[in-house]
Structure formats: structure tokens, C-alpha cells
Copies of this chain bind each other. A is one copy, B any other.
Amino acid sequence: MSITQLAKDLNLSKSTVSRALNDYPDVSFETRERVQKRAEEIGYIPNPVAQRLKQGKSNAVGVVLPPPLDNGAFIEPFYSTMLGSLVIELEKSGLQLLVTTQKTSASDDDVVSYRKMFQRGLVDALLILRTHSNDPRVEFALQHNFPFVTYGRTEKETKHTWVDVDHEQAIYSAVIRQVGRGHRQIAFISTKSRYNYAQLRTEGYVQALKDSGIPFYPRWLVESGLNIDDGYRTALKLLKTEPRPTSIVCTTDDIAIGTMTACREFGLVPGKDIAIMGYGNSAACEHTSPPLTSIEAFPKQLGEKIGKFFTERLDGNTSDALQHVQSTKIIERDSDPVLT
């Protein structure tokens, strides 16, 4: 039954029926209920969702987040922005995002929650976040020939669809910037190295030092948890090393914010006595004191790209693996002055 017939059947205009089916709030709640109920009864299916629904699809993409963070949050801000734009992009194709979390007892590459979504038919495709180099979730999806996109590369990267930031280049360019501003004592606060991205960023740090003829000093490459307090505690230790770094590149903005507090405790004014750089260009960067130089990784664009890849995969427009590396950009503020 077409939308024209449905409109006639309900004695409503075609445009009202269309808007009611799409949940526009300018159609009264009662009318939307009535139209949607009738549409269900007669089995009316709107396009472009029709094709997929007819095949018994769920029109949903599933993602399993890591368990809640140390600071108690459900999701970290970078992913929140990425998934926000993914939701908008998926909606254009009539797809919904379904989010759940890993069990706290599970490792973050555990397949159990993914398998449940898959077996219960809750979703048509999976988003796999923060890949490990050798990732069992990717193995699982490849093995079952289940459509998926990863955020992050793996050692199987030629065989699947992924989106990733150019992590190596991001930190490489940050370190080169510090060298250009006169620094030679440059530390990098990284995070747990089991993640593929952490390895890539560390490679960028090491390579930039090498290309600048600066010796690598292992005590200036440290690992931190991801939140502000982690950064604070890690920086307190780092600032005790002798000689002390004159510039600290941080792998997240939160770590950089914590690092700034630690510097002040050592009597060092960030942006004057010591250079600090963040990563992520979060909203806070313009409001720290001084404003924080950071690296924009374009999570919105990443989310959009992931959404487009899902649409392509699910509409069967391609059977090739799709891949996208997102370049980053340094956003210059006042936290990393020229060394005097």
C-alpha cells in the first residue's frame, strides 16, 4: 500500500501522513499514534528502510563501549562526539545506533557482547572501537561474515573497513612544533600501549625526535590513565625527572589539564615556564588558563565517515573494504610558548 492510499484510508493529507510516519513533532501526538498504528496494521513500510526491513533486518548498528571509565563516566568525550555525528549520519539512511557496554570483568576486546547482539538479531552491523593490533572482535566478525566497521586499524587492516586518525602524524607534528619553538627536552604522556593508536602515537614521538637529531630519553615517555586526575598524578612524577622536560605533549586534553595543575604545584606557570600541548581540542581548551594548544582530530568527521561506510556496506554498494585516514590539525593557543 502506498502513502497515497494510506492517506486516503485515514482521511488525512499525504504530507501529514508522511510527517506523522517520520515523527515530526508538529503533527499532534494523537495523529502520529493513529497513523503509525494504522501503518503497522496494514504493513506499510516507508522507503529507504523498506528494502532492509523486508529482509528481516533490524535497521540498527550496534556498538559495545568499553566498561564505564575510572572516573565513572559511561563514555569518554571524544567518543561521545564521534557517536553523536554517527547517529545523525545513520539517521539519514533510516538506521539507528544501539549502544551497550562491555562487562566490567571483560577485557575491552571481548567478543561476548558483540556476539549477543549478533545472535539475537538486534543489529545489522557492528562498530568496533579502539582496536588492538590483533583483535578477536575483528576475527569474530570476519569469521561470521558480519558487516562491521572498526575505529582503528588492525594487523588485518587490508581485509576490513575502518576509519582511523593519522595518530603517528598527529604526535609527530606536535613534537616537530615543539622543536621549532626551541625545545629539546620534550616529554610525551601516552596511554596504555596495548592499543593500536597508542603505539602509533608513540612511534610519531620517537620518529620526530629522531628526525630532529634529539636523543630519545625513556623516562620522558610515560603512560597515564585517560582522565584529569590521572594526568595530574603522572605529571607530578614526570616533573621530578632530572633534567626536567621544558615541553610536555599529552595524548589527551584531560591529561594536559591535569598536567597544568601539576606544573603550578611545582611553581611552573604553564605557557610561561613550561610548554604543554593537549590532544582532542575539547571545549575546555579555550577556557583553561592559559588556553591550551591542542590537536584537532575531527571526531565529528570521523563519525560521519563511519556512518557513510555503514550505509555503503548495508546497501551492498560495494564489497571492497573501505578505508579512511583522518588528518589532524594543530590548534595554536597560549600554552606552549617559544623557549626563552
Contacts and interface: CB of A to CB of B under 8 A. Distances in A.
Interface stretch (A173-181, A198-206, A284-292): A284-292
Contact of A284 (B60, B69, B284, B300): B284
A212 interface: no
A130 to B, nearest CB: 16
B289 A288 contact: yes
B72 A300 contact: yes
A84 B100 contact: no
A71 B105 CA distance: 33
Interface in A243-277: 254, 257-258, 260-261
A104 B33 CA distance: 18
A23 B106 contact: yes
A81 B72 contact: yes
A77 interface: yes
A113 B287 CA distance: 37
A29 B97 CA distance: 27
Interface stretch (A44-52, A85-93, A160-168): A85-93
A302 to B, nearest CB: 11
B257 A287 contact: yes
A221 interface: no
Interface in A72-127: 72-75, 77, 79-85, 87-88, 91, 96-101, 103-107, 110-113, 122
A290 to B, nearest CB: 9
A132 to B, nearest CB: 12
Interface string A18-37: 00001111000100110010
